[in-house]
Amino acid sequence: MPAVLRATWATRPYGAVIAREPFGNLERVADGIWALISTPLTGDRTTLSNGGIIVGKDAVLAIEGFNDPKGAQWLANKAHELTGRWPTHVVLTHYHSDHANGIAGYLTDGRHPELRSTARTRDLVVERNKPADDARSSAMAGVTLLSPTEPTTMDLGGRSVRIIPRIGHTESDVSIELDDPSIVFCGDLFWNAMFPNFVDAIPTKLATSVRALRRTRDTIYIPGHGAIGTPAEYDRYVAMLDDVEQAARRAHAAGTSAADAGAQFTLPASLGDWTMFSKQFYQRAFEAWYRELSS
């Protein structure tokens, strides 16, 4: 990635940056709500994914386990500095290692926040994420399960948060949503100005979920990767996914291989700049579409 773009991403915060680290910036989103916007293109992968902190009178909710326990521990320490309390609850949006592998960092001798995920996410963290890790596995064994079909409402004390089961980035995703102010922690259902990883995607379901997350009123969208998103940025992302879908359907109908279609693909300039985490990501997107179109 060109240094100029890297710098733009790292220094274009939505809210006041209250902590700046090589791996990311903690931004104040609203009263009692912070987002950690990771900046892994610096090469520091302590956190890798975005996450956040939501505070009520009675509870402190942390979002995501991050790539390394040091990342989760850092966020927990920030929650303690900002609120006087260690997180009381942690939610994982999905199983991917950059969101889940550091989960044990929230647990200390005296502090055991309640960890929450769907059963599928819990199982996939243990089965698929490498390298395997005893601390992570035992943390996941103690997870409180979220319904895979019904929203879970958490009352943090004067602040209600809904954890809503979704699908499409993986087979089990959740979004974490607030109504006042209107804020959606999207997990990896939204990547802002970064081309998403389709490795486990179910693209038709992803398309449905991203539309379901979009609100008609002004809303702050916290992506799984990239800067905090405005409604316009969210819409640009949806348009980008639609462009990929059309290209994949055309290539599949023409009998082009996913590898060739991915190698030939470019996004139209009208959709703006998209950072590629990996050169393989276009091909992975076509492969995900082909899985669905061929079955």
Q: Residues interacting with Zn ion, by CB under 5 A? A: 96, 188
* Cβ distance to Zn ion smaller for residue 154 or 186: 186
Instruction: State the minimum distance, in angstroms, from the CB of residue 5 to Zn ion.
Output: 22
* Cβ distance to Zn ion smaller for residue 89 or 225: 225
Instruction: State the minimum distance, in angstroms, from the CB of residue 173 to Zn ion.
Output: 8
* Cβ distance to Zn ion smaller for residue 60 or 91: 91
* Cβ distance to Zn ion smaller for residue 191 or 234: 191
Instruction: State the minimum distance, in angstroms, from the CB of residue 196 to Zn ion.
Output: 8
The strand pair at 114-118 and 89-91 is best described as parallel
* Cβ distance to Zn ion smaller for residue 55 or 227: 227
Report the first-to-last Cα separation within the chain, whole angstroms.
36
Instruction: State the minimum distance, in angstroms, from the CB of residue 49 to Zn ion.
Output: 7
* Cβ distance to Zn ion smaller for residue 252 or 284: 284
Q: Cβ of 91: how many Cβ atoms within 10 Å?
A: 27
Q: What is the distance of C-alpha 179 from the center of its chain?
A: 19
* C-alpha span between 59 and 286 (Å, rounded): 42
Instruction: State the minimum distance, in angstroms, from the CB of residue 120 to Zn ion.
Output: 14
Cβ-based burial of 280 (10 A; exposed 0-12, middle 13-18, buried ≥19): middle
Instruction: State the minimum distance, in angstroms, from the CB of residue 165 to Zn ion.
Output: 16
Instruction: Give just the sign of the alpha carbon dihedral 170, 214, 237, 101.
Output: negative
Instruction: State the minimum distance, in angstroms, from the CB of residue 199 to Zn ion.
Output: 8
3-state secondary structure 89-111: EEECCCCCHHHHCCHHHHCCCCC
* Cβ distance to Zn ion smaller for residue 177 or 188: 188
Short-list 185, 292, 281, CA closest to 228: 185
Contact predicate 165/174, CB 8 Å: yes
Helices (H), the chain: 3-11, 69-83, 97-100, 119-128, 134-141, 203-213, 231-254, 258-264, 281-294
Tokens 């879970």: give the residue.
Answer: 152
